[in-house]
Structures are given as C-alpha cells and as structure tokens.
A and B are shown apart, each in its own frame.
Chain A
Amino acid sequence: MTEPQTVGEMLARKGISRRALLRYAAWVTSIMALPSSMTRAMAQGIADTKRMSVIWLSCQECTACTESLTRSYSPTIDDLIFDFISLDYHEALQAAAGHQAEEARLKAMEDNKDNYVVIVDGSIPLGNMGYSTVAGHANADVLRETAEHALAVVAVGSCATWGGLPKADPNPTGAVSVSQIVRNTPIINISGCPPIPEAMTGTLAHVLAFGQIPELDHLGRPRAFFGNSIHDRCYRRPFYDKGLFAKSFDDEGARKGWCLYELGCKGPVTYNACATLKWNGGASWPVQTGHGCLGCSEPDFWDRGSFYKPLPASTEPLATPLAAGAVAGVAAGALASRAAKTRREILGAMSKPKDAADTTDKT
C-alpha cells in the first residue's frame, strides 16, 4: 500500500474513524466558540491536509508547558492532535540527540519550507548567549533561523510570550519574548504558566484545518481563549456583585465560596479560559480550589506586587507623597503669608491712615 497522503487517510489506516474526528471537531468548535455549523468544515479540513510539520524549540523553560500539553499521565481527547501533526523536532520528547536531531530540524525546514509551524516554549536570553544553548547554538540564533520560513510561530507559555519568570526583575539573563526576536513571521501567543492545553491544541487544530491563524487579541492571543477575563466568567461573580468577600482563606466566607477579590484575586485583569475550560479535563481550576487568580497569563504578572494583595491596593507607597506634599504645602503657605505680612507692613508704614479702614472690612 502507498504511504497515506492526508491526515484522513492516516487516521483511517490507524483505525481511527472519521467519526472520532467529527467528535473532536465538534469539541474544538465548541471550545473555540466557533459556530457549530463549522464542525463539518473543520473535520474535513483536518482530514484533507497533510500532517503538519512542527518544530518545537525549548529555550529558558521549566518543561511545564510540554507537560501541560502532553499530560503524559492521562491521555485525553486533545492528544489526537499528535495524530495530526508530525513533531519533527522536540528536545524533550524526541529520541534522537545531538547532531542527528539538528539534522532532523534542518531537514524538516527544508522539506516544508513556508509550511511548517514552530512552537517555542521558554524565554530567550540576550544577556549572554551562553545562558541557554542547544548543540552549541544560542537560542536566539536557532529561533531566528527556524522562524524565517515558518508558516507561523506559536509562543507557548508566559515565558515565550512575555519573557516569563526568567525576565522577572532584575532579569539576570536579559530574557526576552519570542516577539522580540521573530520579526517577519506571524506569531500566535498562548500565554499562561502553564497555558491551558486546550488553548494550544485548539489553536493548532484551527491552523491545520483552515490554514489560517485564528482571530487574535491586541497581545496576539487567540480571542477564542483569551477574549474574556476570568472575572467575566467566574462562578463566584454573584458574590462579588453582592459585596460578599472572603477575608481570609479559612473564614466563613471562604467556606461559603465567596469572592476572593480581597484575598488578592487578579481575575478582573486576567484574560484566559480557566473559568470555562477549567483544568485537567474540566476537573477544577484555581478559583474553584479557593485560591485567587494569580494573573499568570498576563505580561509581567510576577512583578505586580504580592499575589495576596487586593487588586486596587496600590503597589506604590501613596502615603508618602500625601504626607510629604502636606508638609511642603504648609511650609509654602507659611512662607507665603509671612512674605505677604512683611509686604503689608512695609506698605502700611508708607500709607498709614488710609489702610486702617481697609483691613477691618477684609475679615
């Protein structure tokens, strides 16, 4: 028999029927909030394409993104994505090593010029190229070279999208995000620490099925997953509106499931799909466990004050300008009225009798 040409043929060969693909497409269409009528087109799109060549580059990262995506402990529906893509290069998952692996990457780039997708996790150090290298090549160089002829670069996780923990003040490695290195290739940002696996696989499935990047927000994130804030979709929202807030992690309010705003929840300024998709196949999510949202999908979340400080509590010590300003103001006022007094005394000495009548009126 001939080699399967399309994903559809390949799935049929493996005994995964088109029905499974339709089920998958129905689910992806649903989580991406696409019209249900697109289910058939998505399944057809995936079935008709060639497997997509994917090159996965890992820079300064902790492998939680890969862990989140593969969830090796428990296969789920989105593992089907691995049947749709051909992971031609992944430092943590591939068996080949060293030069063999490098050759695999170069060959994939050559064979699929302008049609492969690059996934990046981790931030890129610019401080000293030696901080993070693969086979002797600096991350920045490999990324630049690999991205040049890619269809798209998918920055996965808050390190690749914003610089992440490595970039946290004082940023010892000079870490930057993918968007600061890659210039002429479209970038899709899937932020989160780690990102929601469905957001990664759904986005890939969309690119695969339609050959198109899904609609992105102003930070380059797919709107389908990052269009609403946690607060917009939070099931504790009615308590927020009623003004019922937990004041500590074990008080009555906490036990009753009240809003975690006063305990530092960053839900109102965090855009992600945790509240709707949840984690681990819909088992739970941070706010449901009783902990406020940390804001892990937003730029520089680790440098925005304590996770446990309420959102409106300023990161600046505002009492200082108030007190210093008041002291300075009083001093200025005292000096000003002193000067006025002196002037009046001089004026008074110059025109004594007339002035006396004036002052009585000017209480």
Chain B
Amino acid sequence: MELLDFARGPALTIAFAIFAIGVAWRLSSLLFTPRPHRRAEAREGTPSDAKAFVRGVFSRFIPHKTYRDVVFANHLNAYVFHIGLFIVVFLYRPHILFIEGFTGLSWPALPNTLVYGVGLVTVVSLGVALARRMTNPVQKILTTFDDYFSWALTVLPVLTGLLVVNGIGARYETLLALHILSVCALLIWLPFGKLMHTFLFVLSRGVTSVRLSRRGATF
C-alpha cells in the first residue's frame, strides 16, 4: 500500500503543481508578449480579429477539402482517440469522484464496462497513430523524440487503467499506483512538449487565422 500512498499523496500533489505552473507559465508568457506593430494595411473585407480568430479555431476541426482525401483516415483516427481519451477521463465514475474530491463538481457517468470498451478502442487507435507515424516516410522525417515520448505518456495511463480494472499483472493497489504515477508523468510532461497542443491549438489556430485573413485568405 505504500507505493499507492506515495502516488496518491506527494506524487499527485507535485504533478498537479508542475502541471499548473507549466501551463500557466507557457500561456501567460505568450499572452503577455506584446502585439507586433501592423505596418501593412489589411485587405478589403478583412473580418475583425475576433471573428477571424474564432473562425480559425473552429474551421480546423474539419480538414480543408484540398487535403480531405489524403488525410481522411488519419484525421478520423485522431478523432477516435481524442474522443476516447475524453470519455475515459471525464465520463468514468471513479475519475469523476476523483475530480469531485478537489473541485466539488460532479456529473453523470457512463457505465464502467462501456468505459473499458472505449479505453480498449483508444489504445488500438493510438497504436494505429504510432504505426502510421513510423511507416509514413514524410511523417517519419518530421517525427522527433518529443512525438514518441508524448505518445507513450498518453497511452500509458489508458493501458495501466485497463490493467487496474482487469487485475492483470499485479495486485489492484500496485497497478493503481502505477496508473496514478503514469498520470503524474503525463501531467508533468504535458506543458513542456507537443502535448501542450491541448491548450496551444486555440492560440496557434486563432493567430494564424487572424494573420492570414488580413492577407485575404478565407477560413
């Protein structure tokens, strides 16, 4: 039980702190960066910045028709594991109870067995993403250590979670401790690698959209 006590106590506390510091630091240092002077005139019919920003954030949820056929399978797969992650993290009763424990917030959950199924699909889907990354020549060139590491830290909590509830490999409390420690690793890494896209996708999409809109691109 000692490892579990460590995971539940100091490990989670430290991981939460680093996660919060990291995310807040990266976001605030971007937001506090002064806007550049705009020396060129915007084109005729340029939307307001706010409008362009919001459009950019949302329009990218669907691939542009130019690429649709090429990336369709990839894109679909990315949706599968992202939605899977969301369901597993936020619609599973033990997780909601965990969040309720420090926020006081609670909401309905899905049946546990359904969540296990979604977890399995998520693992498979993440596996497909990795396989593609390792076999597609172009993607392979673009891949860095960060991509592999981020992938591993994403899949580990789901894998260990599935081990916990199925009692595979060790006792429940040992597996649970590993599950929590894998979550801690994910939380600590998230702000500093590519997983920061969780937050940065808003800024990068929005800002790109504002900039290109001024040059006449439509989103």
B207→A363 contact, CB < 8 A: yes
Stretch at the interface among B7-15, B68-76, B126-134, B136-144: B7-15
A327 and B111 in contact, given A269-B4, A269-B172, A309-B101 (Cβ under 8 angstroms): no
Residue from the list A261, A268, A330, A362 in contact with B172, Cβ < 8 A: A268
Q: Are A333 and B19 in contact (CB under 8 A)?
A: no
B106 to chain A, nearest CB (A): 9
A232 CB-CB contact with B under 8 Å? yes
* Chain B residues, CB < 8 A from A289: none
Given contacts A298-B1, A312-B98, A333-B32, contact A325 B18 (CB under 8 A): yes
**What is the CA–CA distance of A245 and B97 in the complex, to the nearest angstrom?**
12
Chain A residues contacting B5 (CB-CB under 8 Å) are: 304
- List B contacts of A323 (CB < 8 A): 20
Check A359 against B36 for contact (C-beta < 8 Å).
Answer: yes
Docked-complex contact A316 and B26, CB < 8 angstroms = no
**Chain A residues in 8 Å Cβ range of B93:** 243, 245, 261-262
User: What is the bound-complex CA distance between A336 and B29, given in angstroms?
Assistant: 6
Contact, CB under 8 Å: B111 / A242: yes
Rounded to whole angstroms, the CA-CA distance of A328 and B38 in the bound complex is 32
Chain B residue numbers with a CB within 8 Å of A269 are 1, 4, 172-173, 176
Tell me the complex Cα distance, A297–B29, Å: 51
Residue among A241, A330, A359 with max Cβ neighbours from chain B (10 Å): A330
Q: For A313, give its contact among B14, B17, B100 (CB under 8 Å).
A: B100
The answer, yes or no, to whether B198 is at the interface (CB within 8 Å) is no
Closest-by-CB residue of A relative to B210 is A363
Q: Across the interface, which residues of A come within 8 angstroms of B114, CB to CB?
A: 243
CB distance from B163 to the nearest CB of A (A): 14
Q: Is the CB of B19 within 8 A of A360?
A: no
Closest to A271 in B: B171
Closest to B174 in A: A218
Number of A-B contacts (CB under 8 A): 153
The one of A229, A313, A329 that contacts B23, using a Cβ cutoff of 8 Å:
A329
- Interchain CB contact under 8 A, A336 and B25: yes
CB within 8 Å of A: which B25-58 residues: 25-34, 36-40
What is the CA–CA distance of A298 and B100 in the complex, to the nearest angstrom? 25
Number of interface residues of A (CB under 8 A): 50
Nearest B residue (CB) for A323: B20
A316 touches B20 (CB 8 A): no
B112 interface contact, C-beta 8 A: yes
Closest to B98 in A: A312
Given contacts A268-B172, A310-B101, A314-B8, contact A332 B113 (CB under 8 A): no
Q: Which of B1, B17, B36, B95 contacts A325 (CB 8 A)?
A: B17
Interchain CA distance A170-B20 in the complex, whole Å: 33
Known: A242-B113, A312-B97. A322 touches B29 (CB 8 A): no
**Which listed residue, B12, B31, B38, touches A316 by the CB 8 Å rule?**
B12
* Separation of A186 and B109 alpha carbons in the complex (Å): 48
Query: Contact: A318 with B176, CB < 8 Å?
Result: no
Interface string of A334-349 (1 = CB under 8 A from B): 1011101100000000
Report A's interface with B, CB cutoff 8 A: 229, 231-232, 240-243, 245, 261-262, 268-269, 298-300, 304, 309-319, 321-330, 332-334, 336-338, 340-341, 356, 359-360, 362-363
Give the top 8 A-B pairs by smallest Cβ distance, nearest first: A329-B24, A325-B20, A333-B28, A313-B101, A333-B29, A321-B17, A337-B32, A329-B25
Apart from the given pairs A332-B28, A333-B26, 19 other A-B contacts in the complex at a CB distance below 8 Å: A240-B112, A243-B109, A269-B176, A298-B1, A309-B101, A310-B100, A311-B97, A313-B98, A314-B102, A316-B13, A318-B16, A321-B13, A321-B14, A321-B16, A322-B102, A329-B25, A329-B27, A330-B24, A333-B25
- A to B CB contacts below 8 Å, 26 in the list: A231-B172, A243-B110, A268-B172, A269-B172, A312-B101, A313-B100, A314-B12, A316-B8, A318-B16, A321-B13, A321-B14, A321-B17, A322-B17, A322-B20, A325-B21, A329-B20, A329-B22, A329-B24, A329-B26, A329-B28, A333-B27, A333-B31, A337-B28, A337-B29, A337-B32, A340-B33
